[in-house]
Amino acid sequence: MDHLARRCGSWLFVAVILVVPQAAWATDTEFRDFSISVDGKPSGNSQFTISRQADGSVSVSTQAAVRITQVFFKYEFTTQTSEQWKDGRLVTLNANTNDNGKKFEVKASAMGPGLRVQVNGQPDRPARPDAWTNSFWKLADAKYHNKEIPVLEEDTGKEFTGRLLYIGTESLTVANQKQDCYHFRLTGGSYPVDLWFDRYHLLVKQDFVESGHRTIMQLTNIRR
């Protein structure tokens, strides 16, 4: 497993999504706790810390840890990331990941109209300035719904062009409460990723299968 993350719905549902507030935190900082299961067994956890700044920028830090111990399969994954966003654009990224012994340090920073990405201290390279990160902490802008979208993998520094497909509105139990959530599917990467977002467009669930192992990350608690 390389990392923890990676049709068209009716235009009526898409129109409903467009009128939902893009950000609506009750306080400046929100903590979102997630459980992670692999092949139906509890295997780890993750936490998102989302802070809204006075200038309109948003700071997002994430951490995740997964450990799988089976007779013929052992796997460990840890990651810590920090993202800064302003006006819907990634401004800075710092990520440190240990993927079963493979270590990655990924940095990204906006420079003028562009974005530069550096991996493991190597010379930086240009990347799409409108890239969506695979933390998927927030739903991408509506202009990418049912269209192609550039994606930056925080854990490896790789990029790919995906397609973000709107599946529909579904009722999920989120942090012990029933909610109508927006279901999207991202294709074009190493494997499809199903993603669900709440009415504030924040991630509540993701589900994918990699190397035959199904991984589900589910929101269990919200703290402010």
Read off the pLDDT of residues 58-110 as tens digits, 9 standing for 90 and up.
999 999 999 999 888 899 999 999 999 999 999 999 999 999 999 999 999 99
In this prediction, residue 73 carries a pLDDT of 82
In this prediction, residue 76 carries a pLDDT of 96
What's the distance, CA 138 to chain centroid?
7
- CA 113, CA 209: separation in Å to the nearest integer? 35
How many separate helices (H) and strands (E) can be counted in the chain? 1, 15
Query: Where does the pLDDT of residue 1 fall: very low under 50, low under 70, confident under 90, or very high at 90 and above?
Result: low
Q: What is the mean pLDDT of residues 9-18?
A: 39
- CA 29, CA 6: separation in Å to the nearest integer? 26
What topology is assigned to 11-223 in CATH? YmcC-like fold (2.40.360)
For the chain, give every domain's residue range.
11-223
Q: What is the mean pLDDT of residues 8-28?
A: 43
In this prediction, residue 72 carries a pLDDT of 80
pTM for the model stands at 0.87
* Helix boundaries (H) for the chain: 11-18
Q: What is the mean pLDDT of residues 2-29?
A: 45
Hey, which residues does 1 pair with through a beta bridge? none
In this prediction, residue 22 carries a pLDDT of 44
The per-residue pLDDT for range 101-132, each reduced to its tens digit, is: 999 999 999 999 999 999 999 999 999 999 99
